[in-house]
């Protein structure tokens, strides 16, 4: 199987490149790619290795009884490009775990270190993103691959290459029988995302206006045009669920027949699911970019594997 990820030797990083799921991420010249397991389940490594056509090795990370991370030595990795697959889960110090693993790979003379992580924390605050970028620079990584970050100039000041992957392919097969007739962004920040979705699905799109007030979030649209439509709200992150639930309720109040949502990252701070269950939302599709302890079919929730973004349809 030919891989959709290839490698390019580059002494000059190219910041924040966007690619669809069928476009090669790098050229073939990078040598001997190897997937290295970070804080991800083994089944994720098995799936990625099969999709990408790369070999993989178990990670050397192991926790001490107190919760701190240890990392054993790594054999010589000369002329190997290590792609560290890592999730920022709720476990103790995932950033420290990643740093330890990258340090061991550097000691093992790994030619290049690439970090593939579906969700990067602290992505909604520009200052926090800059701080996190400086931390990742200290890990000597050459490239970061991630899905749908919140900020349009994500990691733009970092010295390493940043590759942004659209989460859209994760949801397309699940939604193919949903008869979506209108795509909606819950706020102006998601306008480009809604445009891309609508173009792909061949339907019109709308962008809601949002204003935060002391009384809560106010949502409106000057010319609602989704009467009797099946609407899909698309977004990058759902946290408390307040914006998404209010957007859903508003769209239904203006005549939509059905409302579903596709969101790449599910943070799910309490009481997110309570908000969403009572909003009138029919189905919420999310990826497992943030590991969930919830069953994949709980109420309106449908959880899809983030690794599907790399499948070639």
Tokens describing residue 102: 């990258």
DSSP 8-state secondary structure symbol assigned to residue 11:
S
Per the domain annotation, does 10 fall within a domain? no
- Assigned domain for 8 exists: no
Rounded to 5 degrees, φ, ψ at 48 are -60, -45
- Per-residue pLDDT at 146: 93
Q: Taking CA 292 as the corner, what is the angle to CA 52 and CA 251, rounded to the nearest 5 degrees?
A: 100
Residue 69: closest CA among 50, 86, 45, 93: 93
What pLDDT was estimated at residue 199?
Answer: 95
Which tokens sit at 180? 């979506």
Nearest Cα residue to 205 out of 242, 180, 228: 180
Q: Quick one: pLDDT at residue 294?
A: 72
- The strand pairing partners of 220, in sequence order, are 209
Beta strands 209-213 and 216-220 are antiparallel
Structural domain for 80, as ranges = 17-165
What is the biggest distance separating any 2 CA atoms in the chain, rounded to whole angstroms? 63
Contact 147, 117 (CB under 8 A): no
pLDDT for residue 238:
95
| The domain boundary residue, chosen from 123, 142, 165 | 165
Residues 97-110, buried b or exposed e (16+ Cβ, 10 A)?
bbbbbbbbbbebeb
Give me the residues paired with residue 184 across strands. Answer: 206, 233
In this predicted structure, what is the pLDDT of residue 4? 45
Question: Structure tokens of 263?
Answer: 């969101």
> Does some domain include residue 153?
yes
Residue 296: per-residue pLDDT: 63
Q: CB 10: neighbour CB atoms within 10 A? A: 15
- CA–CA separation, 308 and 124 (whole Å): 25
* Same-domain pairing of 73 and 98: yes
Mind listing the pLDDT tens digit for each residue in 296-310? 666 899 999 999 988
Task: Determine the Cα–Cα distance for residues 211 and 19; give it in Å rounded to an integer.
Answer: 31
In a domain, 260, yes or no: yes
Residue 145 near residue 7, CB atoms below 8 Å: no
- Please say which residue of 96, 131, 165 terminates a domain: 165
Q: In this structure, what CATH number is given to the domain that contains residue 253?
A: 3.40.50.2020
Q: Are residues 128 and 207 in the same domain?
A: no
**pLDDT at residue number 295:** 67
| The two three-digit tokens of residue 225, written as one number | 């045009």
Question: Could you give the residue ranges of the DSSP H alpha helices within the chain?
Answer: 42-52, 94-107, 126-138, 168-175, 191-201, 242-253, 272-277
Q: What is the dihedral of CA 171, 187, 125, 117, to 10 degrees?
A: 10
What secondary structure, in 3-state letters, does 155-200 show?
CCCCCCEEEEECCHHHHHHHHCCCCCCEEEECCHHHHHHHHHHHHH
The pLDDT value given to residue 41? 93
Whether 176 and 304 map to the same domain: the answer is yes
Q: Are residues 200 and 143 both part of a single domain?
A: no
Whether the full predicted model's pTM is greater than 0.75, yes or no, is yes
**Spans of the chain, pLDDT less than 70:** 1-31, 90-91, 215-216, 295-298, 312-313
Q: How many domains does the chain have?
A: 2
Q: Is the same domain home to 157 and 215? A: no
The answer to whether 174 and 232 have CB atoms below 8 angstroms apart is: no
Q: φ, ψ for residue 25 (rounded to 5)? A: -85, -30
């Amino acid at each position: 199987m030919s891989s959709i990820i290839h490698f390019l030797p580059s002494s000059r990083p190219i910041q924040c490149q966007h690619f669809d799921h069928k476009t090669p991420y790098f050229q073939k010249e990078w040598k001997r790619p190897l997937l290295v397991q970070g804080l991800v389940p083994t089944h994720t490594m098995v799936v990625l290795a099969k999709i990408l056509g790369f070999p993989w090795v178990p990670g050397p990370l192991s926790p001490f009884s107190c919760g701190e991370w240890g990392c054993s030595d790594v054999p010589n990795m000369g002329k190997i490009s290590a792609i560290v697959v890592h999730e920022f889960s709720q476990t103790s110090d995932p950033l420290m775990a990643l740093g330890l693993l990258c340090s061991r790979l550097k000691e093992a003379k790994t030619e290049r270190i690439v970090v593939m992580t579906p969700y990067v924390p602290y992505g909604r605050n520009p200052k926090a993103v800059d701080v996190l970028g400086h931390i990742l620079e200290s890990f000597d990584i050459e490239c970061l691959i991630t899905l749908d970050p919140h900020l349009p100039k994500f990691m733009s000041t970092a010295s390493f290459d940043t590759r942004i992957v659209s989460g859209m392919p994760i949801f397309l097969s699940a939604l193919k029988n949903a008869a979506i007739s209108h795509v909606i962004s819950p706020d102006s920040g998601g306008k480009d995302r809604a445009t891309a979705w609508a173009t792909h699905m061949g339907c019109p799109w709308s962008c809601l206006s949002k204003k935060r007030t002391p009384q809560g979030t106010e949502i409106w649209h000057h010319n609602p045009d989704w009467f009797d439509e099946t609407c899909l709200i698309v977004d990058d992150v759902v946290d408390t669920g307040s914006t998404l639930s209010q957007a859903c309720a508003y769209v239904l109040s203006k005549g939509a027949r059905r409302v579903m949502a596709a969101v790449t990252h599910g943070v799910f701070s309490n009481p997110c699911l309570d908000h969403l269950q009572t909003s009138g939302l029919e189905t919420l599709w999310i990826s497992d970019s943030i590991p969930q302890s919830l069953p994949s079919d709980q109420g309106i929730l449908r959880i899809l594997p983030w690794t599907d973004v790399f499948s070639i349809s």
